[in-house]
Amino acid sequence: MSETASLLADAATRLFEEHLDEDAIRRAAKGAWLVDAWTAIEAMGLPLALLSEDRGGFGVDPSEALALLRVAGFYGCPLPVGETMLANRVLANAGLPLSDGAAAIVPAGAGAALSREGNRWRLAGTAARVPWSETIGTLLVETAGPEGRHVVRLAKGQWRTTETAANVAGHRRDTIAFDGVVDAVSPFNRDLLLGSAALGTILIAGALDRVLELTVDHVNERVQFGRALAKFQAVQHECAEIAGEVAAAGAAADIAADGLGRPADAARLAIASAKLRAGEAVGRAVGFAHQLHGAIGFTAEHRLHLFTTALWAWREEHRGHGYWAKLIGDAALAAGPDGFWPLVTEA
């Protein structure tokens, strides 16, 4: 890690430590937008982390910038930091204005259609499970139709919320509709679902780091039969299993971060694998973590669930296991018996 990167990681840690304390996370889990936290995130410049230094970025490698998202995950960050980072990178590359406040992303295939209207464009459609649709300032919509692949930047007022809902962690996920003439349109040759999946993988890895830490702390403190739980071999081995899954999710996050710097077609298999593996790590690691916490971990009062429910939500966002498994399976079967190993090493 470069010196700048480690200073940034420290700064991000302090920021989240202060603004994403347990109380804040609990408020977000009831659907509240964390104004102070978002203000601090913007003040640090996190939404610009993936931009070049002259455009407001930190001047570190993308993988180092993305490490900050892993820190966000460690603190269970419910705010769309990663989405806003990605949106800003896409907007900057497209020569469009950057996000005004927090951004959300609607990838292609989600129900938006772009059509010609005279010499202008019309965007119409709906999107479900959009984070905090009433608070975000910018929506980045990707479309893929007869006109080719595009991104469209919608400003506040260009969409309306038709239904408010929440994910299993309580974070707002709304249904929205939009229909109107749009000007901020640009051809696009990347893939926002893939990018979002990569960011989601990094966030998951960060939250799993936390779940392991909470569990290790708990088994060291909790005494039964006159000994700390940590002294029982069965407990040690379940912790070791969590560590294995957390390591796998961490490797998945690294793969995802690298993938974001590659062309979409080259990175698709790698990011798909990363997202799938991280999702599976959630199931095993969270299962053991709850087991080892006992009944206290099953209460609303204990903080464990703030992370585990977020993990259950995040692993299904940006498409779940079946979608990515099929994509990878198709590629492996198409590669055939002789092409399989080269496919793995090139991923």
Partner 1 sequence: MERFTFPSPPPSPAAEALRAEVRAFLAGALANRTPLERSESWNGFDRDFSRKMGARGWLGMTWPKRYGGHERSAFERYVIVEETLAAGAPVLAHWIGDRQSGPTLLKFGTEEQKQTVLPRIAAGEAVFCIGMSEPDSGSDLAATRTKAARVDEGWRITGTKIWTTNAHRSNYMILFCRTSGTPADRHAGTSQLLIDLENTPGMTVRPIIDLAGQHHFNEVHFEDALVPAGALIGTEGEGWHQVMSELAFERSGPERFLSSIQLIVELIRALQESESDAARLAIGRLTAHLIVLRRLSRGVAAMLEAGANPSLHAAIVKDVGSIFEQSVPEIARTLVEAEPDKASTSDFNAVLANILLNAPSWSLRGGTREILRGIIARGLGLR
To partner 1, the closest distance from the beta carbon of 276 in angstroms equals 4
Residue 13 touching partner 1 (CB under 8 A): no
Residue 246 touching partner 1 (CB under 8 A): yes
* Spatial contact of 291 and 238, defined as CB atoms under 8 Å apart: yes
Q: Which two tokens stand for residue 227?
A: 């000994």
* Spatial contact of 204 and 282, defined as CB atoms under 8 Å apart: yes
Cα–Cα distance, 112 to 101 (Å, whole number)? 22
Closest CA to 103 of 65, 48, 23: 48
Residue 337 touching partner 1 (CB under 8 A): yes
Q: At CA 292, angle to CA 242 and CA 315, rounded to 5?
A: 50
Counting residues that bind partner 1 (by CB under 8 A) gives 58
When the beta carbons of 180 and 244 are compared against partner 1, the nearer one is 244
Residue 345 touching partner 1 (CB under 8 A): yes
When the beta carbons of 119 and 233 are compared against partner 1, the nearer one is 233
Report the DSSP beta bridge partners of residue 161: 176
Binding mask 253-272 for partner 1 (x = CB under 8 A): -xx--x----------xx-x
Which of helix, strand or coil describes residue 100? Answer: coil
Residue 240 touching partner 1 (CB under 8 A): yes
- Kindly tell me which residue out of 162, 220, 224, 291 binds partner 1, with binding defined by CB under 8 A: 220
Residue 241 touching partner 1 (CB under 8 A): yes
When the beta carbons of 142 and 254 are compared against partner 1, the nearer one is 254
Residue 344 touching partner 1 (CB under 8 A): yes
- Kindly tell me which residue out of 46, 104, 203, 239 binds partner 1, with binding defined by CB under 8 A: 239
To partner 1, the closest distance from the beta carbon of 23 in angstroms equals 23
- Contact region for partner 1 (CB under 8 A) — 22-30, 150-158, 205-213, 302-310? 205-213
DSSP 172: B
Which of helix, strand or coil describes residue 210? Answer: helix
Residue 225 touching partner 1 (CB under 8 A): no
* Spatial contact of 90 and 98, defined as CB atoms under 8 Å apart: no
User: Got the DSSP string for 224-249?
Assistant: ETTEEGGGSHHHHHHHHHHHHHHHHH
Kindly calculate the radius of gyration of the chain based on its CA atoms and give it in whole angstroms. 21
Cα–Cα distance, 15 to 21 (Å, whole number)? 10
**Residue found by looking up tokens 């249904």 in the block:** 175
In whole angstroms, how far apart are CA 72 and each of 62, 178, 206?
16, 31, 7
Residue 197 touching partner 1 (CB under 8 A): no
> Which residues of the shown chain bind partner 1 in the complex (CB under 8 A)?
63, 209, 212-213, 216-217, 219-220, 230-231, 233, 235-237, 239-241, 243-248, 250-252, 254-255, 258, 269-270, 272-274, 276-277, 280, 321-322, 324-333, 335-337, 340-341, 343-345, 347
